[in-house]
Amino acid sequence: MEIRRHEITANGIRQRVLVAGPEDGRPVLLIHGNCSSADFWQPLIRHLPADLRLVAPDLRGYGGTEVAPVDATRGLGVFADDVAALLDEPSLFGAAGARPVLVGHSLGGGVAMRLLVDRPERVAGLLLAAPVSPYGFGGTRDLAGTPTTPDFAGTGGGTGNRDFVARLAAGDRDAEQPTSPRTVLRSAYVADPASLGADEELLLDSVLSTATGDDNYPGTMLPSDNWPGMAPGDRGVLNALTPKYFRIADELVAVPVKPPITWVRGDADVIVSDTSLFDLAQLGALGVLPGWPGVEACPPQPMIGQTRAVLDRYAAAGGSYREIVLAGCGHSPNIERPTEFAAALLDLL
């Protein structure tokens, strides 16, 4: 399927959008995750039928879209507004009032949830690929999303690895250093590095397109009296993902229009997991970070359990969902298992 690139000004910023398929095809809106871009959908697009209308924007600060600040106090609302502004673009979806299925990966899953809550009449269904918990990333202790500390210590911009951020900013393509973007791509984004195949350089380019700094990735931080000594600031991507600003569980359950949801995840995911290696509480429990106050005071976030508990509530309130677990798959089922992922999307359609 031919992939075309559009540049569209919407919601006040210039956005690069990948488009494939006929204008009158069944609409699918693909929303990528953190430290990536719309190019992360290319391995999947090759496995989809040509009669779909596929629209995949780069979020602000990623890929070819304008580098614009992220107001973290709105959670993922800034990203959702950017994407929503594309829904009425005739060059993308043809007829006005398009109701696409939203496919969101990781952070993009949270954006899809936000878009459903904000504009339920415009969403035909959700396919969530390894999505961020409806209670945000880090800093909560149980299935109800109870904050671990009042200031959400251990989440936000201060959790970004400084060496990784510096290597992102420098465009580092090293294959040896543990914090290089290539190593992180191979070890954290997927469970099997061989699954990257011939797409590795394309996907690395996508990771390296991430805009760095206080307004983008990772964002700002505040000092905290609670372990590990930092709390979320109000700018940047990692702060937008914190439970301080992104807590959408109750809104998702209460949405008046409840399209079907499919949740696809790998059982070898090390990013979104009940034992996430990107959750500082889990790193403390493993002895990687010193001073951890113990499991009673600071337990790892039960990310998978939280998502399942919220989707159970969604179903009990009149919606429906399906959970698909792929054995041996990591954080990017759209890359690692594109055939099975495509089948899940077609079933939802």
pLDDT digits (tens, 9 = 90+) for 49-67: 999 999 999 999 999 999 9
Region 234-241 average pLDDT: 98
- Arithmetic mean of pLDDT over the chain: 97
Q: pLDDT band for position 108 (50/70/90)?
A: very high
Region 4-30 average pLDDT: 96
Question: Which of these, 191, 160, 154, 28, lies nearest to 101 by C-alpha position?
Answer: 28
Residue 75 located in a structural domain: yes
Residue 216 located in a structural domain: no
Residue 239 located in a structural domain: no
DSSP string, 319-331: --EEEEEETT--S
Give the model's pLDDT for residue 338. Answer: 98
Give the model's pLDDT for residue 166. Answer: 98
Q: pLDDT band for position 277 (50/70/90)?
A: very high
pTM beyond cutoff 0.95? yes
Region 292-304 average pLDDT: 98
Residue 17 located in a structural domain: yes
What's the total number of domains in the chain?
1
CA distance 56 to 272: 22
DSSP string, 42-82: HHHHTTS-TTEEEEEEPPTTSTTS-----BGGGTTHHHHHH
Region 185-194 average pLDDT: 98
Is the pLDDT at 309 greater than 90, yes or no? yes
Give the model's pLDDT for residue 97. Answer: 75
pLDDT higher for 1 or 157? 157
Give the model's pLDDT for residue 265. Answer: 98
Edge-to-edge, what's the strand order for the sheet holding 125-129? 3-10, 13-20, 52-57, 26-31, 101-105, 125-129, 261-266, 321-326
CA distance 349 to 344: 9
Each residue's pLDDT tens digit, 130-164: 999 999 999 999 999 999 999 999 999 999 999 99
Q: Which domain holds residue 36?
A: 3-147+245-348
Give the model's pLDDT for residue 98. Answer: 84
Residue 329 located in a structural domain: yes
The residue length of the chain stands at: 349
Percent of the chain with pLDDT over 90: 97
Handedness of CA 207, 208, 211, 212 (dihedral sign): positive
Give the model's pLDDT for residue 159. Answer: 98
Q: pLDDT band for position 114 (50/70/90)?
A: very high
Angle among Cα 281, 106, 244 to the nearest 5 degrees reads: 50
Angle among Cα 51, 56, 61 to the nearest 5 degrees reads: 175
Residues forming beta bridges with residue 229, ordered by sequence position: none
Residue 94 located in a structural domain: yes
Region 63-76 average pLDDT: 98
Give the model's pLDDT for residue 278. Answer: 98
| Integer CA distances (angstroms), 51 to 91, 315, 326, 338, in order | 17, 30, 27, 18
Is the pLDDT at 41 greater than 90, yes or no? yes
Give the model's pLDDT for residue 94. Answer: 77
Is the pLDDT at 1 greater than 90, yes or no? no
Residue 190 located in a structural domain: no
Residue 128 located in a structural domain: yes
Contacts (Cβ under 8 Å, ≥6 apart) of 6:
16, 17, 18, 19, 91, 92
Domain harbouring 52, CATH code? 3.40.50.1820
